[in-house]
Amino acid sequence: MKLKVKILKFLTGRPVCMIHEKTAQEMSLHIDNRISVKKANKRTISIVNTISNIIKPNEIAVSNTVIQHLKLKKGDVVEVEITERPKSINLIKKKLKGEELNQKEIQEIVQDIAHNALREAEIAFFIAALNSKGMSLNETKNLIQAMVKTGKQLKLRGKVVDKHCIGGIAGNRTTPIIVPICAAAGLIMPKTSSRAITSAAGTADVIETIAKIDFSIKEIKKIIQKTNACFVWGGALGLAPVDDKIIKVERIVKIDSNAQLLASILSKKISVDSNYVLIDIPYGKSAKVSKRQAEKLKAKFLNLGKRFNLKLQVVLTDGREPIGNAIGPVLEIQDILKILKREGGPKDLEEKSIMLAGKLLEMAGKSKKSKGEILAKQILDSGKAFKKFEQIIKAQKGKIRKLKSGEYTHIIYAKSNKKIISYDNKLINNLARFAGCPQDKAAGVYLHKKANQEIKKSDKIMTIYATSKEKLEHAVKFYNKNKKEMVEYK
Amino acid sequence: MKLKVKILKFLTGRPVCMIHEKTAQEMSLHIDNRISVKKANKRTISIVNTISNIIKPNEIAVSNTVIQHLKLKKGDVVEVEITERPKSINLIKKKLKGEELNQKEIQEIVQDIAHNALREAEIAFFIAALNSKGMSLNETKNLIQAMVKTGKQLKLRGKVVDKHCIGGIAGNRTTPIIVPICAAAGLIMPKTSSRAITSAAGTADVIETIAKIDFSIKEIKKIIQKTNACFVWGGALGLAPVDDKIIKVERIVKIDSNAQLLASILSKKISVDSNYVLIDIPYGKSAKVSKRQAEKLKAKFLNLGKRFNLKLQVVLTDGREPIGNAIGPVLEIQDILKILKREGGPKDLEEKSIMLAGKLLEMAGKSKKSKGEILAKQILDSGKAFKKFEQIIKAQKGKIRKLKSGEYTHIIYAKSNKKIISYDNKLINNLARFAGCPQDKAAGVYLHKKANQEIKKSDKIMTIYATSKEKLEHAVKFYNKNKKEMVEYK
């Protein structure tokens, strides 16, 4: 049936169309049925709502995502058709029963997610199936392939390297140090990062304090041509977009599965054409995984790396406490600039960054085996890394400048002589969030002391930064309630 | 914040409100956040959509379910508040991990489903958790209790009996025969039934061919006062409504769990105040369960019956083929009337109905042990059951009358002398659905021969009835494609 577009500017969590009750009856459509909406060659699927005023029987109003996708304007005529119940629902059921899915079946599910043919509840069943039944490596490989195929891809020449941390550690902002080292060495490093989801800051939030991070694929190519690298937000690029849709539903209950974690990371890497991939898996009590889980995950990464012909290495790193002293976008970039300018900064963050950059240099043949760290440190010490960083920031329409941390502060002092054993990553992240992160870029937590350092009575342990008195009080309250679990002393 | 109600008559699959973009910003609300909408003492939760035309910043438009629930009219002022992420989401996550939930935790989940605080995707995760991790009987008991508590309840005096079949067998319409037998014997039988979901007809669809089935609780009480019994549609009564919400999501993937099946059945029985409950579990190749599964399920029913102080019995019955000859609302009621009027009708349906009615008469003390069937048959033979049936149908504003089956028919004849071993229930149901069931009440399938009957070449095996040529052709095509699996011969 042909319907005329009426523009009601509404935003919903999923693609929705509103049609007149009578039209719905005529087409035997019911609420929550799926229809395909077509204009010229473009087609998308949306969920049916009905309405009996405002809209006429020959009209249709669609939510903003549909308007954008089909580039609709008032009065446009679209072809509307009922779509059948997607077959992929039966495949999800199959997976819920614990059966293995083949390549075609996984492709069908992923394609239906890509085209909005599956609703949130259906995606939830898929996630729950992966969580309870797991996926074989073969299934995971097919999932990755399908995710890459349904998204955009960046095509690059040269030795393209990438590194990825599975997350879970507060601070740990190695990317802005590794990328300029590798780029200065002549490697291509198209780094896409996420914003904070449950943490206090993502790499995208940190870079955003001094540069733009939201570019199109075309713009990214230009930035890379100029500088060998970039630090951009991966969210709206359309690389493996099914991954983002799955994560959105997954976030509801905050569960994930190994298969989904592997697919999420590797689909993004393959989409940006990486040939050399380094995976960082921090383990520890408050990290995402234990040492044993880390080792299992490592084996899976290595296996999948082979299947995709990637040069892939995995390092297991110490995740018992945050890496670096700063947690929060502005606080973190300040420390990163200190390291890049060779003006000090946290030693553990510097060492970890050099170690990871060194590995990438070795993997891509820029240095001999076991000499990568030396080269990485040379590039850093020579100022070449800082220069490259400046160049990339400039290409991203940014500028290196002094930033102010939150003006409302609260300092925690040691009440006796002691030593720290570890910080709880989740609680430190939450503390920074209570102080305003990631929205308030100047908010956060600064750890003056780390594990194994001697602490004397009245030494500063940490400072909380906020941009309002209320948020600071909120954060201090959270600290007092959770301090025992947040910092473990011996 | 106070907002003025603007009436946009729209229907959505879940309670939705539309507020102006600016108002959303002001309240720090994002798409898909939950808000509570309050008018006087009534409160409901709905999902936020935003809109930037049609509605003013001080206005709100809500979907029809919210309008009805809060009895809103144009210009009413409602109090709108952001609600926190329901704690029950963490409990669902706990269950996904396989942990046991306590009474309070289950209550919290059920209450949040009742108040629409949980979205479909969240309910999907809950269902998936029950499906993959199961529930202990203690958890199931708490689930039932919470479901009953969050719904309406019917309070009745006297010996209240009920029977329930777990479903899966085509035909098998024993209810319209059992109810008048029990009611004629002086028992109270407030039978609520469902419409067809995946089958060709539900008891509600069958009774609807000759009477009304949609009544309020108050009206049902009156019908029962007059006749001892009723046959009504349970769908809109508000008895254990959380069960209906769960089933709606479950139906997406058509999975269920034992815990949910037990909770669904028993919560409805307890909500209508039944003290004597008989459960029929048909088992067999094309039934819902195998004999082994049926025995396990029986043990669970008996255990839960005790916990709720119910007199509960379970019978395992032969589910290898449909019960009765007719599948489809009109065809079924014709055969039921034959049995009630003692004018013939399918023997297997009659015998099963007498057996089940006999059990109920014994359980409720209307007959001595092992004499129930004799009493049931006497009531049937004496015409008292038919008289009671007429009385109930009249109280439900109906009338016993001749009904016409679908005018387009196709007869399947035997091509050789043989015997039937079994019919596949699912395929027979699907055949009737292809012919138009349950929407076309006159459509369906009539089985002229059942298992173990001698069949001679050219005997009629079955007749397909439809109300249009197209649907008949559709059904015949389906028969030809699936005949081998549909009927097993020896």
The CATH number covering residue A445 comes to 3.90.1170.30
Do B99 and B18 fall within a single domain? no
The number of CA neighbours under 13 Å toward the Cβ of B34 is: 19
What average pLDDT does the segment A297-310 reach? 97
Residues B113 and B176 in one domain: no
SS3 content of chain A, % helix, strand, coil (to 5): 45, 20, 35
Which among A152, A414, A106 has a CA at the least distance from the CA of A246? A106
Burial of B353 (0-12, 13-18, 19+ CB in 10 A): buried
- Do both A303 and A390 map to the same domain? yes
Q: Which domain holds residue A351?
A: 161-236+254-395
Per DSSP, the three-state class of B157 is coil
Is the same domain home to B286 and B364?
Answer: yes
Domain boundary, last residue among A339, A373, A395: A395
Q: Is A212 touching B (CB cutoff 8 A)?
A: no
A29 close to B (CB below 8 A): no
Q: How far apart are the CA of A230 and the nearest CA of chain B, in angstroms? A: 30
Percent of residues, chain B, with pLDDT higher than 70: 100
| Chain A residue with Cα closest to B132 | A132
C-alpha gyration radius of chain B: 25
Q: Residue B84 pLDDT more than 80?
A: no
List, for residues A81-98, the tens digit of each pLDDT value: 888 788 999 999 999 999
Name the band, by pLDDT with cuts 50, 70 and 90, for residue A435: very high
Angle between helices B175-184 and B372-381 (to 10 degrees): 90
Q: Which residue of A has its CA nearest to B90?
A: A253
Q: Which residue of B has its CA nearest to A11?
A: B50
Distances (CA, A) of B31 to A10, A115, B62, B99, B339: 10, 20, 14, 32, 58
* Of the listed ranges A190-199, A376-385, B212-221, B287-296, the one predicted with least confidence: A190-199
Please report the pLDDT score of residue B204 as a whole number: 94
Read off φ and ψ for residue A37, nearest 5 degrees.
Answer: -115, 125
Reported as a pLDDT band with limits 50, 70 and 90, residue B311 is very high
Structural domain includes residue B286: yes
Handedness of CA A294, A300, A304, A307 (dihedral sign): positive
pLDDT-based confidence at residue B290 (cuts at 50, 70, 90): very high
For residue A14, pLDDT over 90 is answered with no
Is residue A401 included in any domain, yes or no? no
Q: Which of B10, B54, B88, B127 to mutate to test the interface with A (most CBs of A within 10 A)?
A: B10
Q: Long-range contacts for A476-480 (Cβ within 8 Å, ≥24 apart)?
A: A476/A410, A477/A434, A478/A430, A478/A431, A478/A434, A479/A412, A479/A431
Contact B122 A125 (CB under 8 A): no
Same domain, B122 and B267: no
- pLDDT for A26: 81
Interchain contact, A18 vs B10, CB within 8 Å? yes
Q: Measured between alpha carbons, how far is A39 from A121 in angstroms, rounded to an integer? A: 27
**Mean pLDDT, chain B, as a whole number?**
93
Spatial distance between the Cα atoms of B95 and B130, rounded to a whole number of angstroms? 8
Does residue A50 sit at the B interface (CB-CB below 8 Å)? yes
CB contact under 8 A, B93 and A124: no
Determine, yes or no, domain membership for A220: yes
B363 and B452 assigned to the same domain:
no
Question: CB neighbours of B358 closer than 8 A, spacing ≥ 6?
Answer: B367, B372, B373, B374, B375, B376, B377
Among the listed ranges A312-316, B31-35, B69-73, B145-149, which one has the minimum average pLDDT value?
B31-35
Across the interface, which of A121, A129, A255 has its CB nearest the CB of B120? A121
Asked whether residue B341 is assigned to any structural domain, the reply reads yes
B-chain residues within 8 Å CB-CB of A13?
31-32, 47, 49
Alpha helix segments (H runs only) across B73-200: 88-96, 103-114, 120-133, 137-149, 175-184
B28 touches chain A (CB under 8 A): no
Question: What is d(CA B332, CA B429) in angstroms, rounded to the nearest whole number?
Answer: 13
Are B340 and B385 a contacting pair, CB within 8 Å? yes
Weakest mean pLDDT among A107-116, A367-376, B252-261, B316-325:
B252-261
Q: Is some CB atom of chain B closer than 8 A to the CB atom of A9?
A: yes
pLDDT in tens, A339-386: 999 999 999 999 999 999 999 999 999 999 999 999 999 999 999 999
Residue B54 pLDDT: 84
B210 in the Ramachandran plot: left (φ > 0), alpha (ψ -120 to 50) or beta? alpha
The nearest alpha carbon in chain A to B127 belongs to A125
Which of B5, B7, B12, B52 best tests the A interface by mutation, with the highest count of A CBs <10 A? B12
CA-nearest of A106, A126, A173 to A336 is A173
Question: In this complex, which of B9, B50, B96 lies closest to A52 when CB atoms are compared?
Answer: B9
pLDDT over 90 at B170, yes or no: yes
Q: Within B364-468, where are the H helices?
A: 372-381, 384-395, 425-434
Using the beta-carbon criterion (under 8 Å), do B249 and A121 form an inter-chain contact? yes
Active site residues of A: 256
Instruction: State mean pLDDT over B361-367.
Output: 97
CB proximity under 8 Å: B 93-112 to A: 93, 96-97
Q: Would you give the end-to-end CA distance of chain B in angstroms?
A: 73
Residue B319 banded pLDDT, cuts 50, 70, 90 = very high
> Of the residues A395, A417, A446, which one is the last residue of a structural domain?
A395
Mean pLDDT of B290-319: 96
Tally A–B CB contacts below 8 A.
122
Which residue out of A125, A130, A470 would a mutagenesis test of the B interface target, given it has the greatest number of B Cβ atoms within 10 Å?
A125
Residue-wise pLDDT for A64-79, tens only, equals 888 888 999 999 999 9
Average pLDDT over residues B378-405: 97
Q: For residue B216, what are the contacts with CB-CB under 8 A and spacing of at least 6? A: B237
The CATH number that applies at residue A40 is 2.40.40.20
Contact B124 A129 (CB under 8 A): no
Q: How far is A119 from chain B (nearest CA, A)?
A: 9
**Quick one: pLDDT at residue B318?**
95
Task: List, in order, residues 6 or more apart from B352 with CB less than 8 Å away.
Answer: B172, B174, B317, B323
Residue A169, both tokens: 């550690």
- Chain A positions in Cβ-Cβ contact with residue B49 (cut-off 8 Å): 10-13, 63
Mean pLDDT within A289-302 = 96
**Is the Cβ pair B252, A122 closer than 8 Å?**
yes
Copy the structure tokens of residue A484: 């025992």
> How far apart are the C-alpha atoms of A363 and A373, rounded to whole Å?
12
Rounded to two decimals, the ipTM of the complex is 0.82
Res A127: pLDDT: 94
Separation CA A201–CA A462 (nearest Å): 18
Is residue A454 one of the residues assigned to a domain?
yes
B49/A12 touch (CB, cutoff 8 Å), yes or no = yes
d(CA A238, CA B65): 36
Selection from B463, B470, B469 nearest residue B432 by Cα:
B463
Exposure letters B278-306 (e unless 16+ CB within 10 A, then b): bbbbbbbebbbbeeeebeebbebbeebbe
Contact B13 A32 (CB under 8 A): yes
Per-residue pLDDT at B154 exceeds 80: yes
Q: Which of B89, B126, B253, B439 to mutate to test the interface with A (most CBs of A within 10 A)?
A: B253
Residue A195 lies in a domain: yes
How distant is the alpha carbon of residue A154 from its chain centre?
17
Neighbours of A138 (CB within 10 A): 16
- Residue A57's CB is within 10 A of a number of other CB atoms, namely 14
pLDDT in tens, B421-436: 999 999 999 999 999 9
Residue A286: CATH number of its domain: 3.40.1030.10
A442-465: pLDDT as tens digits? 999 999 999 999 999 999 999 999
Name the strands in the sheet holding B487-489, side by side, starting at the edge strand that comes first in the sequence.
Answer: B454-455, B418-423, B487-489
Which of A67, A99, A134 finishes a domain? A134
Supply the CATH number for residue B121's domain.
Answer: 1.20.970.10
Q: In this structure, are A418 and A353 located in the same domain? A: no
Residue B484, judged by CB atoms within 10 A of its CB (0-12, 13-18, 19+), counts as exposed
Whether B29 and B127 share a structural domain: no
For B96, the closest of A93, A133, A255 (CB atoms) is A255
CA pair distance B273, B308, nearest whole angstrom: 11
What pLDDT shows up at residue A197? 74
* pLDDT over 90 percentage in chain B: 77
pLDDT surpasses 90 at A30:
no
Distance (Å) from the alpha carbon of B191 to chain A's nearest alpha carbon: 29
Per residue in B428-481, pLDDT (tens digit) is: 999 999 999 988 999 999 999 999 999 999 999 999 999 999 999 999 999 999
Task: Establish if B250 belongs to a structural domain.
Answer: no
pLDDT greater at residue A28 or residue A333 = A333
Identify the burial level of A153 via C-beta atoms within 10 angstroms of its C-beta, where 0-12 means exposed, 13-18 middle and 19 or more buried: middle
Domain shared by A16 and A44, yes or no: yes
What are the C-alpha distances in Å from A483 to residues A360, A427, A475, A476, A488? 38, 9, 11, 10, 9
Instruction: With a cut of 80, say whether residue A137 has pLDDT above it.
Output: yes
Whether chain A has a CB inside 8 Å of the CB on B125: the answer is: yes
Average pLDDT, chain A: 93
Residue type, A162: D
Summarize the confidence of residues A270-274 as an average pLDDT.
94
Instruction: Read off the pLDDT of residues B196-243 as tens digits, 9 standing for 90 and up.
Output: 877 899 999 999 999 999 999 999 999 999 999 999 998 889 899 999
A254 neighbourhood in chain B, CB within 8 Å: 93
Task: Name the pTM for this structure.
Answer: 0.85
- Are B334 and B274 members of one domain? yes
For testing contact with chain A, the best of B5, B8, B11 (most A CBs within 10 A): B11
Q: Is residue B351 part of a domain?
A: yes
Phi and psi (nearest 5°) for A151? -125, 180
CA-angle at B428, arms to B423 and B429, nearest 5°: 135
Cβ within 8 Å, pair B253-A96: yes
pLDDT value of residue B30 = 80
Structural element, H or E, at residue A267: helix A258-271
Closest CB to A9 among B16, B51, B96:
B51
Cis omega (within 30 of 0) for bond into A438: yes
| Residues on chain A touching B92 (C-beta within 8 angstroms) | 253
Catalytic sites of B, residue numbers:
256
Both B191 and B334 in one domain: the answer is: yes
Domain check: are A209 and A348 in the same one?
yes
Query: How many separate domains does chain A show?
Result: 4
